Structure 1
Amino acid sequence: MSGVSGVDAGRWSRDDPVVQWLLGGDPAIRWQTLRDLVGAPEDEVRAERARVENEGWGARLLGLQDDSGTWGGTVWKPEDRDATDSVVLLLALLGAEGDRTRAALDRTAAGVDWGEEWGRSAFFDGEVEPCINGRVLTAGAPYGHATETMLGKLLDTQQADGGWNCYAETRDDPGSFHSTVCVVEALAAYRDAGGPTDVDLPLHRGQEYLLERRMMRRRSTGELIDEGWLTAAFPYYWRYDVLRGLDHLRSAGLPYDERAAEAVEVIARQRGADGRWKLDSPLPGRPAVAFETVGEPSRWNTLRALRVLDWAGVQSTP
């Protein structure tokens, strides 16, 4: 791999300038930096994580919930990103936990459904599209809202090639990277939350779908599917990119696989001279909370890129 050299996947010094910069960010960034890069003691990580629901981005998101249990007044919006399905996913990605967060998610579970179109299905039971259902299960699992109804919908919509696709009409239609990454994240979250159903096989098949395509290429021709996947966004909502896919494999506990090497190299080459990664173009639509500025160094992308490179056993040269 040009531009990278082998290192032990390991821990970073708190004195490293980039780590210091990460630790100067929001509590959601700080606790994950302490856990994933610094290797801090569990009690320190836990104490920092407890701040997420009361400070910064997490507190702001929780403060936007209405009395009915929704965000943005509805379960989903086609354009903006301030509706319930988007915000509950963000809370999970931030790692919010504690009484305030659980009360908010319980309020959603008790009072929110998908409306007449989906037969008043409870919010955490999902609707029909795996890209949406995957995000909702990812959001609900850490808070005790991983329903078997939702899981069944996801398992029933896996394609013959191992992926998922919101627009599939038959089981033999090809999977979609966008839908697949949403679902494999959900199955891993369900598993890690202690869900009673064994999901190892469908999870493995979904991860193989990504790896067989080298995280970004058509299996049939080897061509790059989408140039946009080489740039990383956060929040990513439904959108696939190679950093999101790699970070899933890492967080799900997979050992590094050489089929991911090209995608890892893409990430390594994007490191700036200051040792940081920038925020690339965001998804269109108004977010519930603005996290970072496009074109500026991104703590989210830098944290995720560094832990992916640690997972792969490589480091980039700024």
Structure 2
Amino acid sequence: MTTERRVLAWLLDSDPALRWQVERDLLAAPERQWQATRARVATEGFGARLLAMQDDDGQWAGGSYFPAGFFGSAEQDAPGQPWVATTWSLKDLREWGVEASALEGTAEKIATNSRWDYDDLPYWGGEVDVCINSFTVATGAWLGADVSRLVEWFPAHRLADGGWNCEAEEGDSVRSSFHSTLNAVRGMLAYEQITGDTSMREARHGGEEYLLVRRLMFRATTGEKVGPFVTQFMYPNRWRFSTLAALDHFRDVSLFEGTPPDPRLADAVETVRAARQPDGTWLQGGRLAGRTWFDIDVDEGEPSRWLTLIGARVLSWWDAARV
């Protein structure tokens, strides 16, 4: 058996949340096949387990971004942050491919019961943090909530250099962040894919250009690598930038808009290619500290099915386009 066949067999022996993407993105299986696997996510494995954790009021862990009782608790002083509250749980379910129909009534319950920790603002209106707002605009579109305020928010809060920064609203920065900008463009793309509304496309393209000018890795001023995080691949990455996560976004853009890969992605692609192990896998680069509902990937240094799926589909897309 070839290395490629061994890797595919290993990837297929996985949770439905991952398997349906392998079938669609690496095997080019008929849509009826991968959609059938995707339909299982709500009733089996990770998706079913996380859906079962939902509170009666529509939330998870009793809170919007942080769980109920977090502030003032010992957990607040622990490394990292908990990843169990409503925003993170919905983000996982959406990205795993759970159909919105499996959460019928959730948007309305959250609108009634969930408020942001910042200024007690209503959930679907978002708040001042661009990363939080990016998760919310995508999830709201998925669940059919009214996120019109956020559709207006993103273009209005773009910085002069083209991107976004979570610290900008507090007056702490006038320069864009790789992390914040990637989260912003991913949220806007998901909104457009779900709704067909292109009103944020110009702003999204501006944010993507910010990253492309820097070739996903380098400072525009000095040409130096912006930080070690760009080549630290992890799953789930939650909010963190990496060249792998960014390339996965640009692959989505290319397939959605019918455009070829931008040549400025070449350095990032070769960085991802170099991280592939001789056995065809990518290794878990780290795990963010903080409480989770359950493990969804391996420990640092072990072969990761999630990262291997993402790495393989990015290289397949890029290499096919070059041919």
**TM-score w.r.t. length of structure 2:** 0.87
Deviates most, 233-242 or 15-24: 15-24
Residue correspondence of structure 1 range 149-298 to structure 2 within 5 A: 149-168=149-168, 173-253=174-254, 254-294=259-299, 295-298=301-304
Alignment match, 1:4:
none
Percent identity for Structure 1 against Structure 2 = 39
After the TM superposition, which residues 84-99 of structure 1 pair with which residues of structure 2 at under 5 Å, given as runs? 84-97=86-99, 99=101
Q: 1:81 to 1:172 in 2, by over 3 A?
A: closer
Name the structure with the higher helix share.
Answer: 2
The offset of 1:98, in angstroms, is: 5.2
3-state DSSP class of the match of 1:132? helix
Matched residue SS, 1:16: helix
1:314 Cα deviation after fit: 6.7
Name the amino acid aligned to 1:216: M
After superposition, the C-alpha distances for 1:238-273 in whole angstroms (9 at most, x for unaligned) are: 111111111001012252112111111111111112
Query: In structure 2, do the counterparts of structure 1 residues 171 and 212 end up closer, same or farther at CA, with 3 Å as the change threshold?
Result: farther
Q: Which runs of 5+ in 2 are unaligned?
A: 67-75
CA displacement at 1:70 relative to structure 2: 1.4
Q: Which has the higher contact order (CA 8 A, sep 6+)?
A: 1
CA–CA separation in structure 2 for the residues paired with 1:21 and 1:104: 35
Q: Once the 2 structures are TM-superposed, how far is the Cα of residue 172 of structure 1 from its aligned partner?
A: 8.6
Cα deviation, residue 197, structure 1: 4.9
Residue matched to 1:141? 141
Structure-2 change in CA distance of 1:110 and 1:50 (3 Å) = farther
Give the C-alpha shift of residue 222 in structure 1. 0.6
* Aligned equivalent of 2:84: 82
> How many angstroms apart in 1 are the aligned matches of 2:30 and 2:187?
27
Q: What is the alpha-carbon distance in structure 2 between the residues aligned to residue 293 and residue 103 of structure 1?
A: 33
| Matches for 1:26-45 after TM superposition, within 5 Å | 26-45=15-34
* Separation of aligned partners in 1, 2:314 and 2:38: 21
The change in CA–CA distance for 1:98 and 1:133 in structure 2 (over 3 A counts) is closer
How far, CA to CA, are the matches of 1:284 and 1:105 in structure 2? 29
SS of residue matched to 2:42: coil
1:112 aligns with 2:114: yes
Q: Do 1:146 and 1:190's aligned partners in 2 also have CA atoms closer than 8 Å? A: no
8 Å CA contact 1:128, 1:153 repeated in 2: no
| Contact residue 151 and residue 199 of structure 2 kept, 8 A | no
In 1: Cα distance, 2:271 partner to 2:197 partner: 37
Looking at structure 1, the residues matched to 87 and 100 of structure 2 have their Cα atoms a distance apart, in angstroms, of: 20
Deviation of 1:89 (Å): 0.8
Q: Are the structure 2 counterparts of residues 172 and 275 from structure 1 closer, same or farther at C-alpha, using a change threshold of 3 Å? A: closer
Q: CA deviation at 1:74?
A: 1.0
Q: Distance in 2 between the 1:211 and 1:164 partners?
A: 14
User: How much has 1:153 moved relative to structure 2?
Assistant: 1.8
Per-residue CA deviation, residues 226-245 of structure 1 (Å, 9 max, x unaligned), is 11220111111111111111
Shift of 1:195: 4.6
Give 1:125 deviation, angstroms.
Answer: 1.6
Separation in 2 of the partners of 1:304 and 1:34? 13
Please tell me whether the aligned partners of residues 18 and 275 of structure 1 are also in contact (alpha carbons under 8 angstroms). yes
State whether residues 81 and 287 of structure 1, in contact with CA within 8 Å, keep that contact through their aligned partners in structure 2: yes
CA shift for structure 1 position 141: 2.1
TM-score (ref. length: structure 1):
0.88
2:199 & 2:172 partners in 1: Cα distance?
Answer: 22
Q: 2-side partners of 1:101 and 1:264: how far apart?
A: 37
Contact 2:229 2:241 in 1 (8 A): no
Distance in 1 (CA, whole Å) between partners of 2:101 and 2:201 is 31
The answer for the alignment partner of 1:303 in structure 2 is 309
Distance change (3 Å), C-alpha of 1:127 and 1:231:
same
SS at match of 2:199: coil
